[in-house]
Amino acid sequence: MKTKLWSVAAAILALVLVLTGCGANNASNAGAAQDQKDAKGEQAAQSTTANAAGEFSQWTEDSPTVKLVKDYVAKVTDESSPDFIPVEDRVVTIDWDGTLFGELDPIYFDWNMYVHRTLWDSTYTPTDEQVAVAHDIEKVEETRKFPEGLEAQHAKYLAEVFKGMSVEDFSKYVAEFGQTDAPKFTGLKRKDAYYKPMVELVNYLHDHDFDCYVVSGTDRNVLRALIPEYFPWMDNAHIKGSVSTVEASGQKGEDGLEYTWTADDKLVEGGSLVIKDVKANKPTITATEIGKQPVVSLGNSSGDSSMANYAINNNKYQSLALMLCCDDTERDWGELDKAEKMVKSCEENGWHAVSQKNEWKTFFGDEAKIDKSWEYSSAKANQAGPNARETAYAAAEQEQELAQAA
């Protein structure tokens, strides 16, 4: 009987020791796990602090815009906030020319490319009407004054001068033109004329689960060739520029309801403008192609006014519209009277004015400098090559002069 009692006692003692040991081990493991968790939390906190410090490194420390955007994002992404916006409704519409990308005093990328194609590209023979529009654009380059109707004319003829070119070759053409030197600056290629502060701002919104779309007057196939290098996360579906027709290579103008795609077909530029994505067309394209009202609008000109008003008026969510003001004449080709008008428009419409002069540490990066000695010439503005059409024009004029002299 005693033996049995001792056996039971021994078993109980062993069980207690095991349980105690297990408890100690569990406590030890729990402690280690907590230490790891604390360490990860500390690392995450350090990472967040580091990221926060670098998020707006190209903006001044006291930038009102940075404070406004950070406060807004913190509020609308906080699930406990009455201003919370669900991820699926955090739509941002962004202008390109003059907002993300430099207008370069003041001719846009695809306007210069049109002039290059029409006047300087020896592989293309333009019509008299196309040449006349190109010369009108050159006058704008010299005078900074836009005649009424030129915007629509350029859009129409830009589609025409690339008619029949494959979409793939058009993309290559844009990329090659982008590799040329940006006019009026040193140390800058056309493709790199992105405003560094705005790149940071858009990436910040994207990182906080905002759905960012470019809604621009520039042709969308031009944009699709230029945007991925700076915004690799932005797919073609998020690029909403002006629309020109695209058709099958064998279609030859036949109605798409009658033509059947063949195994030999490829996509080519159709040569006709569908819609110029500026002014009131921006909300229209946003509504039809995105299907949601934006909560943030980023723009810089009267062409973006409709987009800004669409975002901030009659919106069930708290919304925000930012407008850049071209008030820096030292680092960019700013226009102070235009900037003053934009500040006034912001005050009248409830938009936020962004001072490029006072809030940006840089425009295109430290290597890019404004070239104040730059003087306009068609050749320099449009990167004429040694075999460009102008050489042929000059030779023809010389022959005509010699003939008249004889």
What phi, psi does 313 have (nearest 5°)? -105, 140
Hey, CA dihedral for 206, 211, 216, 222, is it positive or negative? positive
CA atoms within 13 A on the CB side of 200: 23
Nearest to 324 by CA among 354, 298, 296, 304: 354
122 vs 42, higher pLDDT: 122
283 vs 35, higher pLDDT: 283
- Long-range contacts of 137-146, Cβ-Cβ distance < 8 Å, separation of 24 or more: 137/107, 137/111, 138/378, 138/381, 140/106, 140/107, 140/111, 141/105, 141/107, 141/376, 141/381, 142/376, 144/105, 144/106, 144/335
User: Do 162 and 170 contact (CB within 8 A), yes or no?
Assistant: yes
Per-residue model confidence (pLDDT) at position 39: 43
Per-residue model confidence (pLDDT) at position 387: 57
Per-residue model confidence (pLDDT) at position 42: 44
3-state SS class at 114: helix
pTM: 0.82
**CATH architecture, range 64-381:** 3-Layer(aba) Sandwich (3.40)
pLDDT class for 264, splitting at 50, 70, 90? very high
Domain ranges in the chain are 64-381
Per-residue model confidence (pLDDT) at position 392: 52
Per-residue model confidence (pLDDT) at position 45: 38
In this structure, of 226-230, 333-337, 394-398, the range with the lowest mean pLDDT score is 394-398
Per-residue model confidence (pLDDT) at position 134: 95
Per-residue model confidence (pLDDT) at position 25: 39
- Mean pLDDT value of segment 314-327: 98
Average pLDDT, the chain: 86
In this structure, of 47-56, 211-220, 239-248, 334-343, the range with the lowest mean pLDDT score is 47-56
Residue 144 has pLDDT above 90, yes or no: no
User: CA-to-CA distance for 218 and 157, rounded, in angstroms?
Assistant: 13
Model pLDDT for residues 82-131, shown as the tens digit of each residue: 999 999 999 999 999 999 999 988 889 999 999 999 999 989 999 999 99
